[in-house]
Amino acid sequence: MHCYAPELNKRSRSHLKTTNDSDRVDETYIKIEKVWHYLYRAVDSEGKTLDFLLSETRDAKVAQTFFRKVLGANHTVIPREITVDQHAAYPPAVQDLEQAELLPHGCELRQSKYINNMIE
């Protein structure tokens, strides 16, 4: 199964539609081959997929890696606002991206437990 993922990723990227500037990010806990992992997901306010990332941990480093992946995609635009749940890993990750000038300093980080539920 894992051997097909890079090829599927490569072939599907060119078919993704351009997204808008309001992102929603969430993660869920899933079991893969008897091991629990976090599946990070991001969509825009219209529900278009930005990206996803599978990780064994849920911390600021993984959140920053995920944001870098989303920002580096060809079909995404620099977000005006990012809505996340209330996990403590997101503010430091966004702050680091602002300091690295990958996000504009005016990008609003909204922490809400309900607004990003459209992902679920």
Q: What's the chain's average pLDDT?
A: 83
* Domain containing residue 48: CATH number: 3.30.420.10
For residue 17, what pLDDT is reported?
Answer: 66
Do the domain assignments include residue 44? Answer: yes
For residue 63, what pLDDT is reported?
Answer: 92
Express each pLDDT in 48-106 by its tens digit.
888 888 999 999 999 999 999 988 887 888 888 999 988 899 999 999 999 999 888 88
13 compared with 63, residue with greater pLDDT: 63
Question: Exposed, middle or buried by CB within 10 Å (0-12, 13-18, 19+), for 77?
Answer: middle
Do the domain assignments include residue 30? Answer: yes
Which distant-in-sequence residues (6+ apart) come within 8 Å of 49 by Cβ?
16, 41, 42, 43
CB-based contact 76:86 (threshold 8 Å): no
Helices (H), the chain: 5-13, 60-72, 90-99
- Give the chain's domain count: 1
Residues 43, 46, 49: CA angle, nearest 5 degrees: 30
Do the domain assignments include residue 10? Answer: no
For residue 117, what pLDDT is reported?
Answer: 61
pLDDT beyond 70 at 112: yes
Do the domain assignments include residue 13? Answer: no
For residue 36, what pLDDT is reported?
Answer: 92
pLDDT beyond 90 at 45: no
Domain extent for 25: 20-118
Bridge-based pairing of strands 35-44 and 108-111 is unpaired
Do the domain assignments include residue 77? Answer: yes
Do the domain assignments include residue 79? Answer: yes
Do the domain assignments include residue 54? Answer: yes
